[in-house]
Structure 1
Amino acid sequence: MRIKADTGVCVGSGQCVLTEPTVFDQDDNGIVVLLTDHPNDQTTPQARDAVALCPSRALTILQE
């Protein structure tokens, strides 16, 4: 699994960071920053939740 972030769509709500702070962060403007685009087995469930919670749909899961 790989996560893609569309920073042009991100509204900076921070739900991703609150859900899985080891995968997601925010820059100084509140825009999503991926700390890793390949979550490990321990963080995958929370990363999936974060993608589902994103209000702007800036996050996408890609199956590899």
Structure 2
Amino acid sequence: MHIDIDNDACIGAGQCAPAAPGVFTQDDDGFSMLLPGREDGGGDPMVREAARACPVAAITVSETVS
């Protein structure tokens, strides 16, 4: 799984961090960011829910192809 956050689109609504707190956090300005080492989602089943919760669709989750 690959997670991408569009920093230009993110408005800091903060819906992703409570939806998947093991993967997402917010920076000092309130904008979404991935926790270190969680770029692949760490197998957290709530990652897709966090992406759906984003009101501006700033989070994209895609499957990685080997």
* Fold equivalence (TM over 0.5): yes
Structure-1-length-normalised TM-score = 0.88
Deviation digits for residues 25-50 of structure 1, max 9, x if unmatched? 11111111111211123x1x201100
Runs (4 or more) in structure 1 with deviation over 3 Å come to none
The separation in 2 between residues aligned to 1:51 and 1:24, in whole angstroms, is: 10
| Secondary structure in 1 matching 2:51 | helix
How many pairs align? 62
Do the aligned residues in 1 keep the contact of 2:23 with 2:47 (CA within 8 Å)? yes
Partner in structure 1 of residue 57 of structure 2: 57
- Runs of 5+ consecutive residues of structure 1 not aligned to the other structure: none
Identity rate of aligned residues, in percent? Answer: 39
The separation in 1 between residues aligned to 2:28 and 2:4, in whole angstroms, is: 20
Q: 1:38 pairs with 33, 36, 40, which one? A: 40
RMSD (Å), alpha carbons: 0.9
Structure-2-length-normalised TM-score = 0.86
- Runs of 5+ consecutive residues of structure 2 not aligned to the other structure: none
